[in-house]
Structure 1
Amino acid sequence: MFAAAVILPPGHHLPSLTDSKQLSENKRNELAAQIKAQAVAWSVACADVREIDTLNILHATLLAMTRAVQGLAVPPQKVLIDGNRVPKNLGIAAEAVVKGDCRITEISAASVLAKTARDAEMYALAERYPQYGFDKHKGYGTAAHLAALAEFGVLPEHRRSFAPVKTLLAQGKLFE
């Protein structure tokens, strides 16, 4: 689970920046480089699979958000967060903004950095485990990913709390 935080210069606007899910991979990568070069500060953080399995996906997401904010080299005056939840104990004024990744430049920028970081992690996994196709499905529960899990077993990087993984683990399907 990846999250990012971005502080842009006042009034800064990047043409074509929108929700990362609306952008092609090439456009996200291009924008990520621009964001990193032009931001006052930026930070990308994650929660690992053990934290997701222990805390649940929501709380792991909030943890990654907190880490991203805490990782900023410049403390923000206020944090705007995409969605309807704000992490507790940020120590900074914060506001949740539903569909913020489509409405607020800084949130859009953060979504691009988080998505490109996640994609980079998936490409790294694809190099280590090419038979799983991480470079194609990016870790999402596609038919191809589920078929690879069934054929090759569960990796340490898979969430144990994900229902298809639980089923395979009960059958003893571990990667060897």
Structure 2
Amino acid sequence: FCFGRFFYQGSVCATCLLMAELCNGGSVTDLVKGFLKRGERMDELIIAYILHEALMGLQHLHENKTIHRDIKGNNILLTTEGGVKLVDFGVSAQLTSTRLRRNTSVGTPFWMAPEVIACEQQLDSSYDARCDAWSLGITAIELGDGDPPLADLHPMRALFKIPR
């Protein structure tokens, strides 16, 4: 699968323990920054592989009625074997038969879909799993260019520009 695996969860002596798969290849943001430091761009085949694997992970999430809501290069990690893992489910949400849409504005500003941002300003706005597709598209730009669109702006300013 395309998720960081958990190997153990439990408690010992009133201390919570959580062991996860080691993804010591770093994030894909680290990877693209490394290429740029050497004056190179990441090859499109590498970008395509990363995006394909991330899409497979998102497909699994969405089929299981879960929205990640914070897809970005820093939340896509690599294993030493070249595995691609989606991580950081801190703001993910479960969709249910009675709640197929969400209306809370969460995520990282430059990667947030317009409909997610709209929830801040319009109380009747909502969004569904398609917001992850937008964020992955922004991640594709990040992998190609080194930064998401509008990265030169303050994050709050970007939140006003993205929906336009």
Q: TM-score, normalised by structure 2?
A: 0.26
TM-score (norm 1): 0.25
